[in-house]
Chains A and B, each alone.
Chain A
């Protein structure tokens, strides 16, 4: 069974540009969540999707947006990039949020560098 796949693995952008990150969950998983990982802040929650609906959203500005498609694949978009957006962006999938057997499976992440 293939794991969670995130593309691209690395991205270098300049301030003001926009970027789209992609996440393909484990087959059969319908829940996808996104996190931003930085050395000082740990893992900060961005979004959670289930069956194409955004269930929860973290405390990030409106420049950060996301969506989930009917095949459960998810994309995250960041517009008007700032230097502080440089981070590792992690995607995680699970069968269903809040399920008794809930367990997040993480991808390897997309390392975004904003110059």
Chain B
């Protein structure tokens, strides 16, 4: 069965510093990997997606994610954090080989400190 784990409930980063939000996954086949963000009092929004090809995926708001097949990870990164990046971030996976559902991690709350 497929699964996704976000090992950190909360991440604190000073404004201007690089940030990383971690995600690991487990699938039997080939994964589609996603990051979504939930800003306070706003709905979940798509950030980026990995299908195949280049391991570094660029998304909205300056975010990027690195796919690492050997470590089964898909960490979200940004070179310089903004206070406005403070939000709840969800990693998600769909096992495309098994035509399975999209499942989400438990989320990581990112706090950017001014």
Contact = CB atoms under 8 A, between A and B. Distances in A.
A66 interface: no
Contact of A109 (B43, B102, B105): B43
Contact of A107 (B36, B43, B103): B43
B43 A55 contact: no
B46 A105 contact: yes
A42 B94 contact: no
A45 B102 contact: yes
A104 interface: yes
Interface residues of A, number: 26
B22 interface: no
Contacts of B51: 100
B104 interface: yes
A11 B85 CA distance: 31
A103 B101 contact: no
B107 A104 contact: no
Interface in A78-115: 90, 92, 97-98, 100, 102-109
A37 to B, nearest CB: 9
A83 B85 CA distance: 34
B43 A45 contact: no
Interface in A1-26: 3
B102 A41 contact: no
Contact of B101 (A41, A56, A105, A108): A56
Interface of A: 3, 33, 35, 40-45, 48, 55-56, 58, 90, 92, 97-98, 100, 102-109
Given A43-B90, A102-B32, 17 more contacts: A35-B104, A42-B106, A43-B92, A43-B104, A43-B105, A43-B106, A45-B102, A58-B101, A97-B94, A98-B32, A98-B99, A104-B34, A104-B44, A106-B36, A106-B44, A106-B45, A107-B43
